[in-house]
């Protein structure tokens, strides 16, 4: 297995750097569209080059407050959530102009909780529904809201319809990423909210990847009967993305030693809290890559150009993990280290382009002028 580093550290990685510490915490298919097909003449599992490159083309917009989720609209604009302000804002990707859709009622921001992941309905062109994962006063839940573009700025969000509730909430390890997969089902990464035992409890929603219908019911074909649980034994999943062959990958915060990138197989146990990083216990599915927690604290991931691209919070860098099937084909490679601070979310914009969201204003960074921002990035 490829590992970015063999250095062990004592720095924990909660949302970005430890249980209660003050340190660091998708693809187009992650927001309701089909995964990209490989370029003409290129085999789907062709091994990408061992060394890639990253070019920051421009700053799309700046002065965002605690941005978290990102959802590309069909016309190329972006929707971004503010974790702490509980608002959703539309960003014009040509001009950078920001238009607030409205505030989501019922959000109770605290610690790592608030308004987090966003996803567009797989039928967005006809139903104009936005899905959101947020922390309420009692739990984490998933809602959907009608986006009414013809209304005035600040009044464009319909009342939230709660489709799924009861995900454990906590000051730490709150999960938060949602994404519609190529099967048109809704996936959600959850955290164990600081209660480690929840991850191995198949009846708990904490420390899991969930798979739901768009109405919030357990999706057909799930590995456990009448259950939304798709995989378990996770600590805190905040990255979900599919490759060109519709295989799911997930990024996970570690505790004291290893952050992880996992290839997800339905029904598998990913080991937490019994295993962190690679284990010799055959009961647990090992990660395909792992990082010392100071170097990553992985949040969003995206798939592009044959690689998974992973945003690092405490690590303040963008990681590239080239793939051969469901294995890393070379050592992970780091880019932008320290150049833009903490990196929260990365989303495929098609072909070799990514949208990258910084996270300096979430209470754990050191914001400077312009923070936080969305960047347009070219990769290979």
Three-state SS for 61? Answer: strand
pLDDT in tens, 120-129: 999 999 999 9
Residue 2 has what pLDDT?
37
Does the pLDDT at position 81 exceed 60? yes
The answer to whether residue 49 is domain-embedded is no
Q: Between the CA of residue 244 and those of 20, 27, 241, what are the distances in Å?
A: 37, 11, 10
Question: Is 116 a member of any domain?
Answer: yes
Residue 372 placed within a domain: no
User: Rounded to whole angstroms, what are the CA distances from 269 to 8, 174, 192, 246?
Assistant: 24, 19, 14, 20
Whether 216 is covered by a domain: the verdict is yes
The rounded mean pLDDT for the chain is 91
Locate 76 and state its tokens: 């190329």
What total of structural domains would you count in the chain?
A: 1
The helix (H) or strand (E) run that includes residue 125 is helix 124-127
pLDDT digits (tens, 9 = 90+) for 122-160: 999 999 999 999 999 999 999 999 999 999 999 999 999
How confident is the model over 328-344, as pLDDT tens digits?
999 999 999 999 999 99
Q: Is the residue at 77 inside a domain?
A: yes
pLDDT the model gives residue 234: 98
Contact 17, 253 (CB under 8 A): no
CATH code for the domain in which residue 223 is found:
2.120.10.30
Task: Confirm whether 219 is domain-assigned.
Answer: yes
Q: Could you give the 3-state DSSP secondary structure of residue 315?
A: coil
Reported pTM: 0.91
Of all residues in the chain, the percent with pLDDT exceeding 70 is 88
In a domain, 51, yes or no: no
Going from the C-alpha of 155 to that of each of 102, 103, 125, 142, 178, the distances in angstroms are 5, 8, 20, 20, 24
Question: Which residues, in sequence order, are bridge partners of residue 119?
Answer: 131
Predicted local distance difference test score (pLDDT) of residue 6 = 30
The answer to whether position 379 is within a domain reads no
Q: Are 118 and 240 in contact (CB under 8 A)?
A: no
pLDDT at 46: 81
> 210 pLDDT exceeds 50?
yes
Please give the pLDDT value at position 258.
Answer: 98
Q: Which domain holds residue 268?
A: 2-43+66-272+284-297
């Amino acid at each position: 297995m490829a590992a970015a580093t063999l250095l062990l550290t004592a720095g924990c990685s909660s949302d970005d750097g430890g249980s209660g510490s003050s340190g660091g915490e998708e693809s187009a298919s992650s927001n309701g569209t089909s995964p990209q097909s490989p370029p003409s003449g290129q085999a789907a599992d062709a091994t990408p080059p061992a060394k890639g490159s990253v070019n920051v083309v421009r700053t799309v917009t700046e002065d965002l407050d605690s941005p978290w989720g990102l959802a590309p609209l069909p016309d190329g604009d972006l929707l971004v959530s503010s974790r702490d302000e509980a608002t959703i804002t539309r960003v014009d990707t040509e001009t950078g102009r920001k238009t607030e859709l409205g505030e989501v009622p019922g959000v109770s921001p605290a610690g790592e909780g608030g308004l987090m992941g966003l996803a567009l309905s797989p039928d967005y062109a006809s139903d104009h529904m936005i899905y959101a994962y947020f922390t309420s006063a009692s739990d984490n839940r998933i809602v959907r809201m009608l986006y009414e573009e013809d209304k005035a700025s600040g009044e464009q969000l319909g009342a939230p319809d709660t489709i799924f509730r009861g995900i454990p909430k906590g000051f730490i390890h709150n999960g938060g990423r949602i994404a519609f997969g190529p099967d048109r089902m809704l996936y959600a990464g959850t955290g164990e909210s600081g209660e480690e035992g929840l991850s191995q409890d198949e009846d708990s929603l904490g420390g899991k990847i969930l798979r739901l219908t768009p109405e919030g019911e357990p999706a057909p074909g799930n590995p456990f009967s009448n259950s939304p649980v798709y995989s378990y034994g996770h600590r805190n999943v905040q990255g979900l993305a599919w490759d060109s062959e519709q295989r799911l990958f997930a990024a996970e915060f570690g505790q004291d030693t290893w952050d992880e990138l996992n290839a997800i197989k339905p029904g598998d146990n990913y080991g937490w809290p019994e295993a962190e990083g690679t284990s010799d216990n055959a009961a647990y599915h090992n990660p395909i890559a792992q990082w010392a927690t100071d170097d990553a604290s992985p949040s969003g991931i995206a798939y592009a150009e044959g690689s998974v691209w992973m945003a690092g919070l405490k690590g303040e860098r963008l990681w590239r993990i080239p793939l051969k099937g469901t294995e890393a084909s070379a050592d992970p490679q780091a880019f932008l280290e320290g150049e833009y601070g903490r990196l929260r979310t990365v989303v495929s914009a098609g072909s070799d382009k990514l949208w990258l969201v910084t996270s300096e204003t979430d209470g754990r960074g050191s914001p400077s002028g312009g923070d936080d921002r969305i960047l347009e990035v070219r990769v290979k």
